[in-house]
Every structure is written in structure tokens, then in C-alpha cells.
């Protein structure tokens, strides 16, 4: 199954084959279709039989924090208290480069184990930690964009840098890693609240100096945070203006959350082609609010999904899609998220937002073969539910609701296996 079209613009965007096949060559998709038909068209092809499994495009996580695996589950606090008490002390530990390297390996392994093949990753505040992260990311085979997270106020002293240093370290990391294999650099001011104007200016300079670089930050997440930003930037008409003034809002910019946008911000996000990473499990866990998806869509703002580990509930992108659906149901003006739209937000929408839409996100002919093979564990709720599925949409809804990392059998990037679990010899 995949969603090659835009399910928010057209019906029938989900393409599914009950007895399906993917014809692959040299790491690319030749075609997706019915097994019998593809068999006839490619009689010489070697067959890798995955009957009983569900094959989907690899997931695209547009917002996830590398240093935050150890704070998953730190529940019961709103954003600013959670940062101060729980998260920033952990992030300070990434000054220890050996600790950071081990954490990078774990983080990347978990991304792949959950079926994520592409991600825009919020980095650590320490350049040596990011050196090690990029080295591990290259080894992982995943498509990763990431950058040094920078701040120069309101966090804690160990996490603060200076504008000249942020620019110099960013340039150095980008020179070493941007465009190398599947890696790209992302200019990453943590959020306006932890940024002086000089630092945002340095970020703008870095973004302008490195062609094709991404920009990522947080935007309009929680009421207390938005009020603090307003007090800190009295000249700014709104939160987005704090980034916009410094050239940080463009086609390659991705802002996490935007739970409480003004109409003017939505208009400017759309006009610049900037994207919003919707992170529903984080938003409900921190009590940030219920994302106004319909307003984003109506304004023409690009939206995809992010897990926001560690404020979110884990790396599972299907779970995130399911949470997005639940959040919309809780809004008076909620958008309808059916299984096709939910899968689209977890795959092709993210690929396009990260500038990878020409390469991955669906199984159109010529795409690089990034895919996840889901197989329900024998006797699991998902296995029982799939056995009674009425059609493809029904099966996909069941998978979005019930498939976690225990159901991820194999994951490939450009046809190469980046994660696999031992297959069940008895079959399920
Ligand atoms: N705003 C600034 N930093 C963070 C973070 O680490 N997580 C979330 N959810 N919001 C932030
Ligand atoms: Zn975040």
C-alpha cells in the first residue's frame, strides 16, 4: 500500500494490492502492482516471498530529538517545566562525547527498528556530539538531516553558545557532512525563547551560506511559551516574525508544533512554502493543545508528522498518525483523518516537506526503494484483526491502530536492509 496522490485533494489516493508485489532493481522501484501481473512482466525476477505481511513506504519523521531517548516517559509536566526539570539536565550530559556517541547509535537503531527511513533530527548542543552523530548516521544508512542545536539564553549555562561560535561550528559541520551520502545539514536554533537576536542572525547567515541546507525550530507550541516569546521580542508582530526577520522561514524550513498560530502566521508560512511538523503525542502529553489541522490545510501550509521523542510517546510513526486522528476528533472543527490520509502524513507528506519527494515517500516507478515490512506477531491483536479485514483501507486502519515496533519485520533504504528481525519459521 502507498499513497502516491494527495488524499486531501482527491478520493482514491490510497493504492493497495491485496496480493501485491514490488518489483525492485538497483535499489529502485520498477513498479508496484498485483503479484501475478508483475510476475508475468518480470519472469526472471528472484522472488522474496512476504505473504501475510503489509509493505508500506518507509516512514518519514519530520521532528525527533536525538538526545531525548532517556527522557521518554517523563510525564506530568507542561513544556517549560519539562524542559527545565527533565530534559535540559539530560541534554547537558551530551558534553561527554562517548556518552553522546553511544546515544547516537541507540537513537538511530530505534528509528530504523520502528520503520522510519528518513528523519529531520533535532541535534545536541555540542559540536563533538554532532560529529559522532553524523558518523553514526552515515553508518546507519538512513536518510538523515540534522544539525547542531544552538541557544544563548534562558536554558542553562552549559547549553549556551555565542553567535560567532554557532556560525563557525555550523559551517564546519555542514562542510563535513552536508550532502555526504544521504546526510544533510539543518540549521537548528532551539526556539526563539532561547535565542538572542545575534544568534538568530548567525543562524540566518549559516542558512544563506550553505546551499540546500534545511532550517528547523519550534513554533507556537504552548501558551506559556508563546507569552514568554512575545515579552522577549516586543518588536515582533508574532512568534513567526522572530524567525522571519532573520531569513529563517523558507521552503526548506520545518517548524515543530504550531498548535496556536495566528492567521497572519499561517498566511506567511504558506507564502514561503515552509512546513509544519505536527507532533500530536507530544502536544497531548505536555498539554500544549489540539493542533488546528483544518486551518493549516485551508491556508495551504504543508503539514507532516513528527514523533517529537522525547516529549512524544516513542518512535512509532503509525502511532503518531493515529494520535493525529484522535486529536482531530476532539476539535469542533477537526479535519477528517481516514487511513489513507493518516498514512500519507506519515510518508509522502514528510518526504516532500524534507525535499525528498522526488526520491521517496511512495512506490511510484523510479523511486528509491525505502520500505517497511509489517508482520503481525502470531496471536497478536493485530494478527486477529487483519484476519477479518474487509478490504485494504480496513487493514490499513487496523495497522495504524495496532502495529508497533514488534510488528516491524524488515526495513530498507534504497533497497538495502537497515533493520530486520528474525522471521517466524512457522509463518503467521
Ligand atoms: N521547545 C524547545 N525545546 C523543546 C523540546 O526539546 N521539546 C519540545 N517539545 N519543545 C521544545
Ligand atoms: Zn521538539
The answer on 366 and 347 residing in a single domain is no
The answer on 375 and 279 residing in a single domain is no
Structural domain count of the chain: 2
The model scores a pTM over 0.85: yes
Residue 359, pLDDT above cutoff 50: yes
Residue 335 within a domain = yes
Q: How far is the CA of 243 from the centre of ligand 2 (A)?
A: 16
Q: How far is the CA of 328 from the centre of ligand 1 (A)?
A: 22
Residue 422 pLDDT grade (very low, low, confident, very high; cuts 50, 70, 90):
confident
Q: How far is the CA of 218 from the centre of ligand 1 (A)?
A: 7
Residues 6+ apart with CB under 8 A from 176: 131, 134
* Separation between Cα atoms, residue 317 and residue 346, nearest integer Å: 6
Q: Cα–Cα–Cα angle for 188, 277, 273, nearest 5°?
A: 80
Residue 426 pLDDT grade (very low, low, confident, very high; cuts 50, 70, 90):
low
The answer on 270 and 376 residing in a single domain is no
- What residue numbers bound the domain in which 398 lies? 20-57+361-420
Which residues are near ligand 1 (CB < 6 Å)? 65, 79, 83, 87, 190-191, 218, 221, 282, 308, 311
Residue 179: which CATH number?
Answer: 3.20.20.140
- Indicate the residue among 353, 378, 402 that finishes a domain: 353
* Separation between Cα atoms, residue 397 and residue 395, nearest integer Å: 5
Pocket test for ligand 1, best of 92, 221, 284 (most atoms within 8 A of CB): 221
Which tens digit of pLDDT belongs to each residue from 163-202?
A: 999 999 999 999 999 999 999 999 999 999 999 999 999 9
With beta carbons less than 8 A apart as the criterion, state whether 4 and 13 touch.
yes
Q: What percent of the chain has pLDDT over 90?
A: 98
Q: What is the mean pLDDT of residues 24-48?
A: 97
Angle, helices 317-330 vs 392-402, to 10°: value is 100
* Separation between Cα atoms, residue 382 and residue 313, nearest integer Å: 20
* Separation between Cα atoms, residue 95 and residue 129, nearest integer Å: 7
Residue 319, pLDDT above cutoff 90: yes
Ligand 1, atom nearest to 65 Cα: 6
What was the pLDDT predicted at 425?
A: 54
- Indicate the residue among 311, 329, 353 that finishes a domain: 353
Angle, helices 339-346 vs 392-402, to 10°: value is 60
- Of 115, 106, 120, 112, which is closest to residue 68 (Cα–Cα)? 106
The answer on 377 and 234 residing in a single domain is no
Among the bound ligands, the one closest to the CA of 91: 1
Q: Cell numbers of 168, please? A: 563557525
Ligand 1, atom nearest to 221 Cα: 10
The residue whose CA has the least distance to atom 5 of ligand 1 is 83
**H/E segment holding residue 197:** helix 197-209
Residue 428, pLDDT above cutoff 50: no
The answer on 278 and 135 residing in a single domain is yes
Q: How far is the CA of 83 from the centre of ligand 1 (A)?
A: 7
With beta carbons less than 8 A apart as the criterion, state whether 327 and 319 touch.
no
Q: What is the mean pLDDT of residues 248-260?
A: 98
The answer on 266 and 212 residing in a single domain is yes
User: CB count, 10 Å around CB of 153?
Assistant: 11
The residue whose CA has the least distance to atom 7 of ligand 1 is 311
With beta carbons less than 8 A apart as the criterion, state whether 175 and 146 touch.
no
- Indicate the residue among 353, 369, 399 that finishes a domain: 353
The answer on 67 and 110 residing in a single domain is yes
The answer on 222 and 153 residing in a single domain is yes
What was the pLDDT predicted at 76?
A: 95
Which tens digit of pLDDT belongs to each residue from 78-130?
A: 999 999 999 999 999 999 999 999 999 999 999 999 999 999 999 999 999 99
Residues 6+ apart with CB under 8 A from 58: 115, 116, 117, 118, 347, 360, 370, 371, 372, 411, 412, 413
Pocket test for ligand 1, best of 70, 188, 256, 313 (most atoms within 8 A of CB): 256
Query: How far lies 263's CA from each of 87, 151, 267, in Å?
Result: 31, 28, 6
The residue whose CA has the least distance to atom 8 of ligand 1 is 311
Residue 282 within a domain = yes
Residue 3 within a domain = no
The answer on 127 and 255 residing in a single domain is yes
Q: How far is the CA of 256 from the centre of ligand 2 (A)?
A: 6
Q: How far is the CA of 22 from the centre of ligand 2 (A)?
A: 35
Amino acid at each position: 500500500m502507498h499513497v502516491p496522490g494527495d488524499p486531501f485533494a482527491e478520493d482514491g489516493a490510497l493504492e493497495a494490492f491485496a496480493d501485491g508485489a514490488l518489483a525492485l532493481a538497483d535499489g529502485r522501484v520498477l513498479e508496484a502492482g498485483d503479484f501475478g501481473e508483475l510476475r508475468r512482466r518480470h519472469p526472471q525476477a528472484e522472488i522474496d516471498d512476504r505473504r501475510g505481511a503489509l509493505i508500506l513506504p518507509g516512514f518519514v519523521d519530520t521532528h525527533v530529538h536525538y538526545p531525548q531517548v532517556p527522557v521518554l516517559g517523563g510525564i506530568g509536566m507542561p513544556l517549560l517545566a519539562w524542559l527545565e526539570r527533565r530534559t535540559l539536565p539530560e541534554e547537558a550530559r551530551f558534553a561527554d562525547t562517548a556518552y553522546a556517541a553511544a546515544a547516537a547509535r541507540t537513537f538511530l537503531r530505534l528509528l530504523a527498528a520502528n520503520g522510519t527511513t528518513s528523519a529531520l533530527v533535532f541535534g545536541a548542543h555540542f559540536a563533538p556530539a554532532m560529529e559522532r552523530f553524523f558518523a553514526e548516521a552515515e553508518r546507519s544508512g538512513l536518510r538523515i538531516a540534522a544539525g547542531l542545536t544552538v541557544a544563548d539564553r534562558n536554558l542553562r549555562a552549559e547549553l549556551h553558545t555565542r553567535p560567532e561560535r554557532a556560525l563557525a561550528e555550523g559551517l564546519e559541520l555542514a562542510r563535513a557532512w552536508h550532502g555526504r551520502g544521504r546526510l544533510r545539514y539543518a540549521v537548528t536554533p532551539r526556539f526563539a525563547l532561547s535565542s538572542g537576536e545575534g544568534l538568530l542572525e548567525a543562524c540566518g547567515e549559516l542558512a544563506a551560506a550553505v546551499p540546500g541546507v534545511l532550517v528547523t525550530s519550534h513554533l507556537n507550541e504552548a501558551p506559556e511559551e508563546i507569552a514568554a516569546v512575545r515579552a522577549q521580542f516586543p518588536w515582533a508582530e508574532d512568534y513567526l516574525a522572530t524567525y522571519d526577520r532573520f531569513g529563517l522561514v523558507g521552503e526548506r524550513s520545518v517548524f515543530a508544533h504550531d498548535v496556536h498560530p495566528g492567521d497572519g502566521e499561517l498566511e506567511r508560512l504558506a507564502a514561503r512554502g515552509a512546513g509544519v511538523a505536527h507532533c500530536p503525542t507530544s502536544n497531548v502529553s505536555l498539554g500544549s493543545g489540539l493542533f488546528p489541522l483544518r486551518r493549516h490545510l485551508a491556508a495551504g501550509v504543508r503539514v507532516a508528522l513528527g514523533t517529537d521523542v522525547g516529549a512524544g510517546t516513542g518512535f512509532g510513526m503509525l502511532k503518531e498518525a493515529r494520535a493525529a486522528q484522535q486529536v482531530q476528533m476532539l476539535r469542533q472543527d477537526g479535519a477528517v483523518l481516514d487511513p489513507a490520509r493518516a498514512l500519507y502524513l506519515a510518508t509522502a507528506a514528510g518526504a516532500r516537506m524534507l525535499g525528498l519527494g522526488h526520491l521517496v515517500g511512495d512506490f511510484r516507478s523510479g523511486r528509491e526503494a525505502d520500505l517497511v515490512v509489517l508482520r503481525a506477531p502470531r496471536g497478536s491483536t493485530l494478527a486477529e484483526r487483519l484476519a477479518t479485514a474487509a478490504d485494504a483501507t480496513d487493514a490499513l486502519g487496523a495497522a495504524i491502530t495496532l502495529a508497533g515496533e514488534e510488528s516491524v519485520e524488515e526495513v530498507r533504504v534504497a533497497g538495502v536492509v537497515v533493520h530486520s528481525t528474525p522471521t517466524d519459521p512457522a509463518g503467521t
